[in-house]
Every structure is written in structure tokens, then in C-alpha cells.
Structure 1
Amino acid sequence: MTSPNKIAAALLAGVVTSLTGAAAQAADCKIGISMSTLNAPYYAAQEAAVRDEGKKLGCDVLSSDGQRDMNKQISDIEDMVARKVSLLLVNPQDPEGLVPAVNAASAAGIKVVVIDADLNPKANFVTHVQSSNVENGELVGRWLAKTLGGKPATVAIISGNQGNPGGENRRMGVVRGYVEGQLAGSGVAKLNIVAQGWGGWTSEGGVSAMEDIITAHPDVNVVIGENDSMVLGARRALEAAHKLDGVLLLAAADGQKEALALIKEGKYGATGLNDPDLIGRTGVEIGMKSVKGELPAEFPKHYLIKPEVISKENVDRYYRPDSVF
């Protein structure tokens, strides 16, 4: 049976027209992007991709930084509506709190595409473009099980923030993939998670979380993070404490260039593919087709980028030292 994502890809490919040929309509082309934050390389890269793609189409691009404040992001979206954007891309701070603002934008005739972070699917938007947190996590978990080959692991998990559904999907995807990988290899699964720290999605947060974990559990030999930034911070903490040797580092996402550089050097295990550039540009492409009435009615409300685990075996396909992220 063909997967909904493959159907979506086929539908999208089947209706491809030259969007750059829309320059004649540039005067009416206004794209808004509401980011939950720009205070991280990942989000900055995503915003830059949307801005670049919009400008390639000859569109005006309006951008806002929610500064991790849901009320500010709601105000930002209301401002985009007042400025009459035709397409609005939203990376939401909160999966429930942004629903009324998104519904109001759609009611005003604006095509809304959600990118990356989760929003309640009951909200009125065209589609949600993101990487598959669960599938990426599972691939990373299976990689871990294969790499360890039955060797015992004392695991610490570094999570973003409590109650975040994307973070939960990432870590539980890794756990599931790790257990399934062990069962496939030996028919026995052993999982010893001794700590969970909260890093707030930042490198500095990863440092702080790992420092606490080292104090309570100095024997940790596997660190799993919900993104690369926190694991890179954890690595700094381990190095400062002279505990880095023998610790395997991996993340459920994102493919940050600093992590990929370490993977190339054999100093970092693996990460999941969560390309902010690809997500942002795909959101613009789908959104503009919706604006122009070229998106098929059957197009799914959830569009997933193909999952991938990035390790030393394939890192050269993804490492771009000059990228924003």
C-alpha cells in the first residue's frame, strides 16, 4: 500500500510549475513568517530559507520573532493578518495556544502553513511540514543498538522542555528503535536510563543539564539528546569534567553542522535529519501552490520530510560547512 507521504510527494511533483514565473504577480505576493524564536541557529536558518525562497519568487517577506513568548507570537500573527499577507508560515511556540490566531488568519483568507513545531491538527491550516520525529528517533535508536552490539549502556537523556510533544516523540522514538534493534539482534533488550535532564533546546542548557547528571551519575556512557545543540553543550560539560572518553553522543535531531563535523572526526555518534532549510523552502513551495489554487484537494494535512540517520557512513552527503545551521 502506498504511504500517504509518497502520495503527497507524487501529487506535489505532478503539479510543479515554475513559481519563479510568477514575477508578474509580485506586487500582490506577500509572505509572512511567524517564528516562535530566532534565538538559535536552527530557527535562524529556517527563517533565512523562507526569506530567500520568497524573494526568489519576487515576493515581499515579513518576518517576526516571537521571542519564546506565546502572547507576542499571537500579536505577531494578528499583525500579519492586518498587513494582508497572502501566505503565512508559522513555527508555533505552543501546540494549543496558537490555534485561535491561526484560525483567525485562515478565516481572513490567508493560506497558513505550519512548519516544524507541532500545532493541534484541528486548527484550520493547509498542511504541517516537518521531519518525522518518531521515525528519525527510531533510526537513531536502531543505529545505537547496532553500534553497541549488546554492550551495556548507562544512558542519560537530555530533553528540551517539559510537555513538548515533539521532544517526547523524539526521545521515545530513540527508545523504541533501540529496544527493537536489540530484539532484532539478540532477542533480548536491556535499557538502563539513569537520568533525564532538561536543556531548554540550547547548548548552554545542555551544559547545565549534563553537569547535574555527571554529579549524580558519573558512570554514564551514552548521552541521547532531543537536539544537537543540547548534546554539543553536554559534550563541553563532559570534556570540562574529564569524563568525555568512552561516552557515546547522539541526538534524535537535527543535523547541526557542528555535530556533523564531529561525526566526520569520529567524536560524535549519530543524529537524525531535521533540515531547517529544506522544511522552510518546502513550506513556501506548498503554500504558494495553495495560494495559486494549484494544490490538489487530496493533499495531506501532515507532510513529512524523508527520515534519515546521519552517521560517519553518510555524513558527507549532508555536511555543509558554510551553512547557517
Structure 2
Amino acid sequence: MQIVARQAGDNPESGMRIIEAVLQQHPDLNLVIGSNDSGGIGGYQAMVSNDKVGADKAVFSGDATKEALALIAEEGSIYRGTVDLYPFKGGYESAKYLYEMATKGLPAEPKKVFLPYVPVPQEDVISGKYKPAY
């Protein structure tokens, strides 16, 4: 694998614009990884509209949004997976630790919190094994 571009595309429009530009320089592009589903959806749209489909093409991202899951579930989709980031859990944990710092002061050592991110491969979406929390 060779990384040919790293750019911030945090919404479908910028994700699509970025991947369309990358395809101009790298027409053999076969993998798009979005840091969130919004950018990933735009990358997916760019790949499909440029006929970059097939078993050797893939798009992955993170958030497990309804929109991304719907694209992942489509027959023959190159959108191969996402990651459920459990944003409500992350928000709750953040608020909890901010409250602790506000009421008890800063901890002597920084606290590390690991959230339960869950990979969501295409086969789990199609089979119904993955059940979104929303």
C-alpha cells in the first residue's frame, strides 16, 4: 500500500472534491480511508462516479452513520466498512471527567480513557449482525 494523499475532507462535498482531484493524479487509486463517514461518503461518491468500482476498490471510514451504513449495505458496494465510535459514550465520559476536574481539581497524572470503538465490516451490516445504537 502506498499513501498518495492526506487531506481533510470532513463533509461529503469536500471528500468528493478531494478524491476527484486525487484521481486526476492517481487514476489507479483503489482505497479511500475517511476519518469520518461524511468525508468517506464523498470519497465513495467520487470513486463510483469515476467508475472506480470492483473487488479491488474499497472505502472505509468512521462514525457508523445511517447514511454510511445504507451505502455499505448496497449490493456490490465498494464502501466496505466503518467504525462505530459511540459518540454518546464519548460525550458522557468527557463530561464526567470535566466535572471531576472542576470539582476535585486536576489529577496528578493525566487520565487515559479508552472508548469501545467497534469495527463494522460490510458483512456484519449486510447480515444484520451489527446493530447500531441509535
Q: Which residue of 1 aligns with 2:70?
A: 261
Equivalent residue for 1:94?
A: none
* Secondary structure, counterpart of 1:271 in structure 2: strand
SS at match of 2:5: strand
Q: Contact 1:224/1:250 (CA < 8 Å) preserved in 2?
A: yes
The answer for the alignment partner of 2:113 in structure 1 is 303
Conserved? CA contact 1:261–1:319, under 8 Å = no
1:222 matches 2:3: no
Structure 2 counterpart of 1:312: 122
SS at match of 2:51: coil
Distance 1:305 1:242, change over 3 A: same
TM-score by length of 2: 0.73
Map 1:217-256; keep pairs closer than 5 Å.
217-246=26-55, 247-251=57-61, 253-256=62-65
CA deviation after TM superposition for structure 1 residue 291, in Å: 4.8
8 Å contact 1:194–1:217 — kept in the other structure? Answer: no
Contact 2:10-2:39 at 8 Å conserved across structures:
yes
Matches within 5 A, 1:183-202: 191=1, 193=2, 195-202=4-11
The runs of 4+ residues in structure 1 deviating greater than 6 Å are: none
Q: Which residue of 2 aligns with 1:206?
A: 15
Classify 1:238/1:313 alpha carbon distance in 2 versus 1 (closer, same or farther; 3 Å). Answer: closer
Deviation at 1:211, TM superposition (A): 0.6
| 2:40/2:59 contact within 8 Å kept | yes
Cα drift, residue 269 of structure 1: 0.9
TM-score normalised according to structure 1 size: 0.34
Deviation at 1:271, TM superposition (A): 1.9
Provide the secondary structure at the position in 2 that maps to 1:269: strand
Structure 2: which 5+ residue stretches go unaligned?
none
The secondary structure found in structure 2 opposite 1:223 is: strand
Q: 1 or 2, which has the higher strand percentage?
A: 1
Partner SS, residue 237 of structure 1: helix
1:254 to partner: Cα distance: 2.5
1: CA distance, partners of 2:124 / 2:108: 34
Opposite residue 250 of structure 1, the aligned amino acid is F
2: CA distance between counterparts of 1:270 and 1:280? 23
User: Is contact 1:260-1:319 (8 Å) kept?
Assistant: no
Of stretches 276-285 and 264-273 in structure 1, the one that deviates more from structure 2 is 264-273
Describe the shift of the 1:237–1:244 C-alpha distance in structure 2 as closer, same or farther (beyond 3 A). Answer: same
- Measure, in 2, the Cα distance between the counterparts of 1:213 and 1:292: 49
Gapped runs of 5+ residues in structure 1? 1-190
Structure 1 vs Structure 2 CA RMSD: 2.9
Instruction: Report if aligned partners of 2:32, 2:59 keep a CA contact under 8 Å in 1.
Output: yes
Structure 1 or 2, whichever has the larger Rg, is 1
